[in-house]
A and B are shown apart, each in its own frame.
Chain A
Amino acid sequence: MNRFLQTRAGTWTGFAAAALVLFGLAPLLLSGFRLGLLAQFLCYAVVAVGIGLAWGRGGMLTLGQGVFFGMGAYLMAMHLKTADAEFRGGPGAVPDFMELAGIRELPAYWAPFSSPAFTIAAILVLPTAFAVLLGLAVFKRRVKGAYFAILSQALAGAFAILLIGQQSLGGFNGLSRFRYFFGFTLADPVNQRMLYFIAAGVLLSVVAVALQLRRSRYGELLVAVRDAEERVRFLGYDAANVKVVAYAVAALFASVAGAVFVPIVGIISPASIGIVPSIMFILGVAIGGRASLVGPVVGALAVAWAQTALSEQFPSAWTYAQGLLFVLVIALLPGGIASIASVARRFPTKRTQVEAAA
């Protein structure tokens, strides 16, 4: 099965099957409400694919993906708010939450976001460029491992606190109550379905990009850097650049996910991008299998689904379950679900070896 999927025909078959499920079966079987939830989960899965690349293949445990997710989300939210305000009050109108906060003039840095093209460009470029700069600063100085993880986590904390302090970005409450998405009414179920298709399309494209990166020579190099960074350096590569690429791609994925997330869910606030939500992105990746391609997607979907199904009814039990999942999966099954097959295959051989030795 696995071997088949690695061939060209297998790859196309896999994508066709995924497309059939996402574009055919799911919209047919799920109600509008559930389809909306799935769309939200797909956004988390997009983040997870990026983490799988940076952490699973590149060894960079990034605990701050909420920063990039949040950047994409806030950039998109700023466009939606200015568009709404212009629809009500003409060009230069102030969004509703600013009126409530007593801000009469549209801040200068908001103005360009009335342009959809500018917004989309910003979503693609800003977080990626930020990741490149930060990555260069950190990786060139060979800050890695736990130090990098702690720094990325501190970044998430600082970013959330920074946003809470910005009244012109909605402060603690964040940005919410969007009416239009590039001219389409968000309240219309047809448009909500369109958003789901966008999320599904984004996920498939992101998986395709990740697949190409994994199978390319770059993908092999990334694994080499993960396992023996200094050896790579002594072969004449600048290992920092190799890491920066994976880190920036993961940031780009997270940013796009955040941008799609906002019109689907209708709110973005510092509470959903700080330290704890950032590390929660990791859980799904770990469960699914950090180094595999599809594992992070499956893990992220499963965790998000369980969260929705359980957290309201059994808040206490769900938190225990999350904690225990972290402990058990990481300690006992570091390869995640994706490794179950190979672990199971290894067990009998181990036993036969022991028997042979005895």
Chain B
Amino acid sequence: MNIALSCKDIVVEFDGFRAVDGVDLELARGEVHFLIGPNGAGKTTLVDAVTGLAKYTGSVVKDGEELRGRKVHHIARKGIGRTFQTATVFEALTVAQNLDIAAGAGRSPWTLLRRRRHLPPHVRATMERIGLGDRADTPAGALAHGQKQWLEIGMLLVGDADVLLLDEPIAGMGHDERETTGRLLHDIAADRAVAVVEHDMDFMRAFASRVTVLHAGAVLASGSVDEVSGDPRVQEVYLGTAKEPADAATA
């Protein structure tokens, strides 16, 4: 297995409350790794920690390099990209502009100060890949909900992220859009590590290569879909709060 990112003993504390409490996690290239768990289990906080937004103790190593204490934009440049529960794109700019900005974190000041003559080829290719090839000049604010989420994923792809942390990428999508997104995730995971924070159990069953269940800030179980769904502790957590995942799925 080709481990891209490995987290050891991550602890995130807010005013004495341990939102993430000693989590170990490894993300491998070639896998779509689902992080599931009830509300407040610490899934998003874990993503916040890895991407440099939340302070933590422990260690996050990508390709042999320790990332703890690095600034948000440094971590992003190391190839770790994330999305947000509410798709965050630059609504006043066009799809092409959004992707071009995302592709350009390494540009020199001189390049930045000039006009863009042509869209870089890999940006155009990604635009096709996320199904927005014919929307290059559409303002991102005018896109449909699901298209914004694809655009945000596309922005990570053109930015050469090879660890993608996606926070509820199918929230608010219809059935067909979910299928497309699931296939897209597997497609891009071919040479990348993809982690997905999700509430939707059907989606998880259909597309997860590996699942980690978080509960109360700690890892409850980890393994394949079958291993995890057969785990009695996982069933207990989900039966005990049986309504929650269902609620979240419909929300």
Contacts and interface: CB of A to CB of B under 8 A. Distances in A.
Q: Decide if A and B are genuine partners.
A: yes
Interface of A: 212-213, 215-218, 220-221, 223-224, 227-228, 230-239
Contacts of B76: 233-236
13 contacts: A213-B113, A217-B111, A217-B113, A220-B97, A221-B112, A223-B92, A230-B72, A231-B90, A232-B101, A236-B76, A236-B159, A238-B73, A239-B73
Nearest to B152: A231
B90 A217 contact: no
Contacts of B100: 217, 220
Nearest to A225: B90
B175 interface: no
Please report whether the interface of chain B is mostly helix, strand, loop or mixed according to DSSP: loop
A228 B140 CA distance: 13
Contacts of A239: 73
A223 B90 contact: yes
Contacts of B113: 212-213, 216-218
Contact of B88 (A217, A218, A228): A228
Given A217-B112, A218-B112, A237 B105 contact: yes
A11 to B, nearest CB: 11
Contacts of A230: 72, 88
B225 interface: no
Chain A binding surface SS class:
helix
A206 to B, nearest CB: 16
Given A220-B93, A220-B100, A227-B90, A236 B115 contact: no
B73 A216 contact: no
A128 B84 CA distance: 36
Given A218-B112, A218-B113, A228-B88, A236 B77 contact: yes
Contacts of B71: 238
A235 B71 CA distance: 12
A260 B93 CA distance: 36
B115 A217 contact: yes
Contact of B73 (A218, A227, A233): A233
Most buried by B among A216, A232, A237: A237
Contacts of B82: 234
Contact of A217 (B98, B104, B159): B104
B81 interface: yes
B155 interface: yes
B243 interface: no
B92 A215 contact: no
Listed from nearest, the 5 A-B pairs whose CB atoms lie closest are: A236-B105, A236-B76, A236-B77, A218-B112, A224-B90
B177 interface: no
Contact of A234 (B72, B92, B97, B104): B72
Contacts of A228: 88-90
Given A216-B114, A217-B116, A235 B97 contact: no
Contacts of B116: 217, 220
